[in-house]
Structures are given as structure tokens and as C-alpha cells.
Amino acid sequence: DGAGLVKAQDGNGYIMMVNNEDNYAVSRLYLDKNLKPLKGEYALNSDGGQWRLCSGTLATPAENGFGPLYLSCGESNVEAMTHAIDPFQVNITPGTPRGLPGLGRWSGENAVPLHKDAFPGKTIIVTGEDASDASGGQLALYMSNTVGDLDNGTQYMLKRVDGNQKETDMIAGTSYDVEFAKIENHKTLTGAQIQAMVDPLQAIKFGRVEDLDYRKGSAANNREIYFNVTGQEAVGVNADSSRTVHGRVYKLVLDAADPTKGKLTCVLDGDNEKGPAKQFQNPDNICVTTNYAYIQEDSNTYGTEDHDGYIYQYNLSTGELKVVFELDHRRTAADAAKYNVGGISPKGSWEYGALLDISDVIGVPNTFSLCVQPHTWVDDRFAGVDGGSKRLTEKQGSEIVILKGLPR
């Protein structure tokens, strides 16, 4: 799922960190100057990773004011944490967990440090919580007044100023005053105790917050955050459709004088059958550049899927939304059996992982890397290879591809 790319310390080639989501592991790949893989190893195996590892962010001094440090969010457990891995560390021990107590315990999707220019002199990290239980998914904010301090800051949950916790009471295109409510002593709390604070703090109960990213190009842009809420079926705690079903994209603009205050707007609503996002099948990962948000689908397989996973291009200035990619399951290709083990894969059953704008890292404009999870590509040779003990029968293959010519 998640990934990050950084130049090697000697300037020759690159290091790529990649989350192996279902394997609870993180790979470290060594690439030459042409992005050709040279070797790979595990920075975390399933014993160190402990949980499903969803999206991730590689913080760097040039972008975030600290690092390099790869932040990999643990999901699938209310007590999960965010791992911090030095991509240059030698003699790494993959079985050692690297969770950061300072970033709290969440079933997290991604922990994204804002650009260093967004709030100079501070480190701000925004985390999305992929939860569908009674307390829903939250958007959390960590703030330290010391750049690079990931341990001694304060953590908050997003709430509306009027205290309304119902997600679908927010109408697409309307901006709402929001603020971040402080979680007292968050480092000492269990994940369950943090969730017990949702109602007392009146936090918004989203239907599974997925990936998030900030706009590039200026300090003002860097305070403009976009995040996906993937949605959950209208049953159980969402029987009243108080949360999105097919997914939404939100824009959060933080106050330049106070990062705990801002304006929240749903810019795309997949539940509006007449709206521009009417085709949404559960947006998951997101990549935001200066001019566009690229929104990637991961269908929840409600049974109504009519296409394979799309990547949408959303124009941040005009609001235009269009499809730029669709996953090819190779159902009718000569090698269909290889990629559709167990029978022809259902519509929407594959998903995307991280889409990274690597243009500035490699010096080639409009170049991106894209992780793909073809869930029906399974093979025994993929099983039990990370050296951990927790996911010995997990045997899905996956891919990383390079995209050229995609506008930024």
C-alpha cells in the first residue's frame, strides 16, 4: 500500500520503502539511477509490523524539516501504532517494532507530516483513522512546537464547532467551521480509551478515513489538506446512513494563525447519484500535487460494482473530475489464469496502493510511481518470505509501476 522514495546517501540511485499491507511488513528496495531494482530486504517483518500496514509517508528535511523517516501506519487494531523507520539505517532488525507512542494508538491509514512551510517552527502530523465501529473514523492532528519532535507534542481530534458529529449532515460544496479538540494525556491512553473520548470531544464520526495529502506549491497550499473517506455499507452502525456509503473526498483548510482551527468542505460525494462523483466505488489512496488530486478506488465489494478500480484526476481549481486510469485484471488475456487464481476476478476486486509524485526526487517532470494490489494474483512462492511468524500463509503478489506524463 504505502511507499516513499529518497535519494541514496551516496547520490547513486534511490531507496524505496514499501508497505506490504496484508503481510504486516515493510520492504526496503535499492534502485539504481534508472529506477532498476538492485536488491531488497525487509525493514519490518510481520513480527515487527504487528498489524496491517496501510499507507505511509517518507518525511525528508527538504519537504518536512526532519528525517528522512518513513512513517508506516498500523491498521486492523484499535491499539495499532505508527512505525518510524530510518531508510538509511544499517543492520536493521526487521522483527523489532518501531511504534511511536507520541502519535497515539489508532487503526491508522496514514500519518502525514505537513510541509515545513505550512507552520514554520512546528511539526504537524495529520492521521486518518480507518474505523467503521460505533465511534467511526477520526481525523487526528499531532502538533509539536519543536521541528522533528514526534514524542512530546499534543494530539487532537477533528470536530465541528457546532458539535454535530454526523458526517452526512455535511452537504457537498458547503464549508463548515471545524476545530481540533485536545486529547488529554494521549500518550498514556490505550486505543480503546482514545476511542472512548470521541463522544465527549464531539469528534466527527466519519465512515472510515483513508489516505490524505496536502497541496503542493506554496505555504498557503500546504495548509490545504485533502482526505478520502471510503465509506461503509448502510447496515449496523451505519443503517441510518449517517456516514458515507460510496465515499467522499474532503478539503480541510487550516487557519494560518492556528492549525487547530479551519474550514472543512466535502468536495466530492459518491452518494449523490446526480453529482460528479456518482461513479465512486470507495476512494482509498490519494496523491495531491499543485494542481490536482489523484483519487484511487478500492471497492468495498457491496456487489454493485460496474467497473474496475479507477484513478480519478480532480482539478483543484476548476473542480473537473475525470478518469485517467482503470485497473486491467487481464480476464481475457492469455495469462488470465495466473492473475485470476480461483476464477475470474469480480469487478473492482483489485486495488491501488500509493501513488507518489517522484518528479522532484528523480529530476524528471510528471513522473509517478504506483503500487498495485492484484488480490487474485496468488502463488505459493510469495508465502512466508519475510522471516516473520505472523503471516506465513499470506501469498499475494503485487506490483510497482512507473507512470510518465501524468500532469502535476
Would you state the torsion angle of the CA atoms of residues 104, 244, 346, 23, taken in this order, to the nearest 10 degrees? 0
Report the pLDDT value the prediction gives residue 172, as an integer from 0 to 100: 98
Report the pLDDT value the prediction gives residue 332, as an integer from 0 to 100: 96
Assign 376 to helix, strand or coil.
Answer: coil
DSSP readout, 98-139? -B-GGG----EEEEEEPPTTTSTT-EEEEEEE---STT-B-E
* Grid coordinates given for 28: 526496503
Assign 79 to helix, strand or coil.
Answer: coil
Assign 393 to helix, strand or coil.
Answer: coil
Report the pLDDT value the prediction gives residue 296, as an integer from 0 to 100: 99
Report the pLDDT value the prediction gives residue 151, as an integer from 0 to 100: 98
Residues of the chain with pLDDT under 50: none
Report the pLDDT value the prediction gives residue 116, as an integer from 0 to 100: 99
Cβ atoms of 52 and 166 closer than 8 Å = no
List beta partners, residue 130. none
Question: Residue 76 gets which letter from DSSP?
Answer: S
Report the pLDDT value the prediction gives residue 165, as an integer from 0 to 100: 99
Report the pLDDT value the prediction gives residue 65, as an integer from 0 to 100: 99
Q: What is the pLDDT of residues 171-191, one digit of tens each?
A: 999 999 999 999 999 999 999
Report the pLDDT value the prediction gives residue 376, as an integer from 0 to 100: 97
- CATH number of this structure's domain 3-404, picked from the four choices 2.120.10.30, 3.40.50.720, 3.20.20.10, 3.40.640.10: 2.120.10.30
- Sheet order of strands, 367-373 included: 351-357, 367-373, 399-404
* Closest to 269 in 3D by CA, of 138, 172, 130, 165: 172
Report the pLDDT value the prediction gives residue 219, as an integer from 0 to 100: 99
Report the pLDDT value the prediction gives residue 240, as an integer from 0 to 100: 97
Report the pLDDT value the prediction gives residue 292, as an integer from 0 to 100: 99
* Grid coordinates given for 354: 500509493
Report the pLDDT value the prediction gives residue 380, as an integer from 0 to 100: 97
- Sheet order of strands, 248-255 included: 108-113, 123-129, 139-144, 154-160, 175-182, 258-269, 248-255, 224-229, 209-214
